[in-house]
Amino acid sequence: MREEIQKILVDEKELDAIVTRIAGEIDRDYRGRGKRLLLLCILKGSVVFTGDLMKKLTIPVEIDFMKVSSYGAGTTSSGTVNIILDILRKDLDQCDILVIEDIIDSGRTLAYLVDYLKLKGANSVKTVTLLDKPDRRVVDFEPDYIGKIIPDEFVVGYGLDYDERFRELPFVGVLKPEVYEK
Ligand code: PRP
């Protein structure tokens, strides 16, 4: 294991079980609906989760991407959401959107995105998060599908970064405080 990692919080086996469970729930809830099911991956952290999830779904899906920023540098939330890459397709009224996140912290990003996508005319908007830190919530927001509720620790891996590092780790681990307190 990398020396910067204090402990593994969600190992590969548990991640696989979580993704399998959520894929089953989505299959069950969306099978036979008349609209296009659009997995909306929120860059960059959700890339790994979205890829694994779509492989386990048995119903037809499409994918698209948005990039927003809710964090400044380091570990604190700036409190604003900026759209850096928007969704360009024009047929959102034909789409049931599932916004895919790696983690919910303050809740600002998803609360904002759900409103934004509804205003853009999506047929429906629901949210999926691999990890949820309810202790950090600033705005009232509940996702529709949750992988795992975790304590307020600085986690990296499986897409999640610290200063763009550690996204490639196949597990979710807790970062040693000395790495980000330097
Ligand atoms: C993280 C995460 C969510 C958001 C959650 O993204 O992927 O998008 O922060 O925080 P919130 O609930 O407080 O809004 P980040 O801005 O770190 O970008 P990244 O995915 O590109 O690393």
pLDDT digit of tens for each residue in the chain (182 aa)?
789 999 999 999 999 999 999 999 999 999 999 899 999 999 999 999 999 999 999 999 999 999 998 754 344 455 678 999 999 999 999 999 999 999 999 999 999 999 999 999 999 999 999 999 999 999 999 999 999 999 999 999 999 999 999 999 999 999 999 999 97
Ligand 1 centroid distance, CA of 34 (Å)? 31
| Domain map (residue ranges) of the chain | 12-150
Burial 140-169 (b: 16+ CB within 10 A, else e): ebebebbbeebeeebbbbbbbbbeeebbeb
Catalogue the active-site residues. Answer: 105
Ligand 1 centroid distance, CA of 104 (Å)? 7
Atom of ligand 1 minimally distant from the CA of 164 = 22
Q: In a 10 Å sphere around its CB, with 0-12 CB exposed, 13-18 middle and 19+ buried, how is residue 122 labelled? A: buried
Q: Which of 61, 45, 27 is nearest to 129 (CA)?
A: 45
Residues with CB under 6 A from ligand 1: 42-45, 69-71, 77, 101-109, 161
CATH number of this structure's domain 12-150, picked from the four choices 3.40.50.2020, 3.40.91.50, 1.10.10.60, 2.40.50.140: 3.40.50.2020
Ligand 1 centroid distance, CA of 88 (Å)? 21
- How far is it, in rounded angstroms, from Cα 142 to Cα 38? 20
Predicted model pTM: 0.94
3-state secondary structure 32-90: CCCCEEEEEEEECCCHHHHHHHHHHCCCCCEEEEEEEEEECCCCCEEEEEEEEECCCCC
